[in-house]
Amino acid sequence: MPALITGRTTKWCALLVLSLTELMVVLDVTIVTIALPQAQQELGLSDGQRQWVVTAYALAFGALLLLGGRIADYWGRKRTFMVGMIGFGVASAWGGMADSGVELVIARGVQGAFAALLAPAALAMLTVLFTHGRERNTAFAIFGTVAGCGAAVGLVLGGVLTEFASWRWCLLVNVLFVIASIIGGVLLLDESKTDGDNRYDIWGTITVTTGLGALVYGFTLAEHGWASADTISSLAAGLVLLTVFVWIEKTVAQPLLPLRVILHGVRGGAFIVQGIVGAIMIGSMLYLTFHFQIVMGMSPLRSGLANVAMTAVILALVPLATKALNTYGPRPMMIAGPLFVAAGLFYLSGISSDGSYVTEILPALVLLGIGLAMLFVPLQNLALIGVAPRDAGVASATVNSTFHIGGSIGLAVFTVIYAGSVERALDNGTPQLDAFTDGYSAAFIASGIVMLLAAVVSFTLIRGTREDLMPSWESDGSETLQTH
């Protein structure tokens, strides 16, 4: 199969463009987190609307990614990438100039919808561009690390922009990323798509999108009680719709999500772990940011910089993790990584309202950085192992979708746990800041337990020799590449 882009230098420059795109998409989940207190005050957001500034983006992104992956496969990956990039830039500018909380939440949802176009197109082009061997492992390690660090980078960049400019620049800054990516895309990326009779699975799209939306909304409603009629009906509707979606995918000729993509043992395990990582990075770490600003009284800049330790550890360990991947294979890292992350989360659960950053938080961030570095390096590659070129777009979409849907569900569930703990503490006469800290601690304990589950999943499903888990990726001849 011919390379998507000829020339070794051009190929690695293309990787930079695709990685920049992934960085923008992922950091946009967290970049507004630091700015939320300021945005809430300026726009008069309620606590529920504040949560939806994050949830609207992650939910729209995750729910529409499968459709975005199929559009990329059928319509053309570069074409889809460019349309998604332009739409993302427009939605970012809209959100940055929003005059109300409702307008901001809607703009964030539109951002997520266009991100669902460009993200799977970028990863699919990477899959076709780097086809086998050590070069592929290195490219995916770089791409996966950028994706993994994006959430942490978003916290730091959000702090800088909020402190020295305005919370609005946490959205407007995307326009600069968009301009750079469009220029790079025009110069460095060529078109590729699958050929044949390609038809969209409309009913599959409707059921999976509405099903995931109902499920996440149901978890959000659980803050007002798990036994309430609204909570139960929403969760039940989500489960029924997702069950119908699975049935549809078994029966249609060209499914939105071919079940062969997720029923592969190793890939399925990687998807589950990816979802859990999303729940932690989006749903849990939000509360550390709130602890920094609300309890510890940090400015947005200091709050963002307080997360640098985790990012620094990740970046420092990625070269070592990449070497370990080539030597020992991904399975040991996929088991050990969640254990380190869980240890960091359990350590964080010991925070107090008058505690020290150095003693109560810094060691936990180091543990989190170690564990996440172990996960980021192999995770993207494992999730795409053995995928036929025809399914590259949808498989890439599934990788991203599990992360963001996991984040949406995680944020909803951890919010329920946090709110319940705070309510109980206040009812018992606990001072407000101490009550908030109790809530954050409860969320971190729940996160640690979920992360232990990721280790069990990796131990159970990520099986095989190093050679089995790191095969050369070969074309089956079903891919047609078009160069313009």
Residue 197 lies in a domain: no
Tens digit of each residue's pLDDT (9 = 90 or more) over 9-21: 677 888 888 888 8
Work out the average pLDDT over 255-281.
Answer: 85
The answer on 213 and 85 residing in a single domain is no
Confidence check: pLDDT of 114 > 60: yes
The answer on 157 and 51 residing in a single domain is yes
Work out the average pLDDT over 16-35.
Answer: 81
Provide the pLDDT for residue 472: 44
Residue 224 lies in a domain: yes
Confidence check: pLDDT of 480 > 70: no
Residue 127 lies in a domain: yes
Provide the pLDDT for residue 306: 87
**SS3 of 218, please?**
helix
Work out the average pLDDT over 120-142.
Answer: 76
Tens digit of each residue's pLDDT (9 = 90 or more) over 326-365: 788 888 889 999 999 999 999 999 999 888 999 999 999 9
Which residues, listed in sequence order, are joined to residue 479 by a DSSP beta bridge? 194
The answer on 140 and 251 residing in a single domain is no
Confidence of residue 475 (pLDDT cuts 50, 70, 90): very low
Work out the average pLDDT over 277-286.
Answer: 83
Confidence check: pLDDT of 129 > 70: yes
> Where is mean pLDDT largest: 270-279, 280-289, 392-401?
270-279
- The amino acid at residue 377 is V
The answer on 311 and 298 residing in a single domain is yes
The answer on 227 and 265 residing in a single domain is no
Tens digit of each residue's pLDDT (9 = 90 or more) over 170-179: 899 999 989 9
Domain encompassing residue 97: 16-192+256-463
Work out the average pLDDT over 151-168.
Answer: 82
What is the gyration radius of the CA atoms in the chain, in angstroms?
21
Question: How many residues does the structure list for the chain?
Answer: 484
Lowest mean pLDDT among 132-141, 369-378, 397-406, 468-477: 468-477
The answer on 20 and 160 residing in a single domain is yes
Provide the pLDDT for residue 484: 29
Confidence check: pLDDT of 78 > 50: yes
Work out the average pLDDT over 52-61.
Answer: 84
Residue 475 lies in a domain: no
- The amino acid at residue 285 is M
54 and 410 Cβ atoms separated by less than 8 Å: no
Work out the average pLDDT over 20-48.
Answer: 80
Pick the closest to residue 375 from 190, 211, 180, 149 (CA basis).
Answer: 149
Q: CA–CA separation, 455 vs 305, rounded Å?
A: 29
Tokens coding 215? 């499920």
Confidence check: pLDDT of 483 > 70: no
Q: Phi and psi of 194, rounded to 5°?
A: -85, 150
- Of the CA atoms within 13 Å of residue 18, those in its CB half-sphere come to 29
Provide the pLDDT for residue 454: 93
The answer on 223 and 168 residing in a single domain is no
Provide the pLDDT for residue 465: 58
How many percent of the chain have pLDDT more than 90? 25
Residue 56 lies in a domain: yes
Which residues, listed in sequence order, are joined to residue 194 by a DSSP beta bridge? 479
Number of domains in the chain: 2
The answer on 61 and 178 residing in a single domain is yes
> Where is mean pLDDT largest: 118-122, 163-167, 289-293, 444-448?
444-448
Confidence of residue 481 (pLDDT cuts 50, 70, 90): very low
Which of 214, 236, 255 lies at the terminal end of a domain, its last residue? 255
Residue 61 lies in a domain: yes
> Helix 77-96 and helix 8-43: axis angle, to 10°?
30
**SS3 of 199, please?**
coil
DSSP track, 261-327: HHHSHHHHHHHHHHHHHHIIIIIIHHHHHHIIIIIS---HHHHHHTTHHHHHHHHHHHHHHHHHHHH
Pick the closest to residue 25 from 53, 58, 49 (CA basis).
Answer: 58
* Cβ-Cβ contacts under 8 Å for 428 (sequence gap 6 or more): none
13 and 134 Cβ atoms separated by less than 8 Å: no
Dihedral through CA 414, CA 418, CA 419, CA 425, nearest 10?
160
Tokens coding 306? 């307080």
**SS3 of 260, please?**
helix
Tens digit of each residue's pLDDT (9 = 90 or more) over 237-263: 999 999 999 999 888 888 888 888 887
**SS3 of 110, please?**
helix
The answer on 292 and 216 residing in a single domain is no
The answer on 245 and 265 residing in a single domain is no
30 and 282 Cβ atoms separated by less than 8 Å: yes
Work out the average pLDDT over 469-475.
Answer: 46
Residue 6 lies in a domain: no
Identify the residue with better confidence: 385 or 208: 208
The answer on 27 and 100 residing in a single domain is yes
Assign residue 176 the CATH number of its domain. 1.20.1250.20
Q: In whole numbers, what is the pLDDT of the chain averaged over residues?
A: 82
396 and 123 Cβ atoms separated by less than 8 Å: yes
The answer on 261 and 244 residing in a single domain is no
Tokens coding 86? 């332009």
Which of 236, 255, 274 lies at the terminal end of a domain, its last residue? 255
Work out the average pLDDT over 422-429.
Answer: 89
How many percent of the chain have pLDDT more than 70? 89
Provide the pLDDT for residue 48: 65
Work out the average pLDDT over 191-208.
Answer: 79
CA angle 103, 88, 481 (to 5 degrees): 155
Whole-model pTM above 0.85? no
Residue 10 lies in a domain: no
Confidence of residue 476 (pLDDT cuts 50, 70, 90): very low
Lowest mean pLDDT among 373-377, 380-384, 414-418: 380-384
Confidence of residue 5 (pLDDT cuts 50, 70, 90): very low
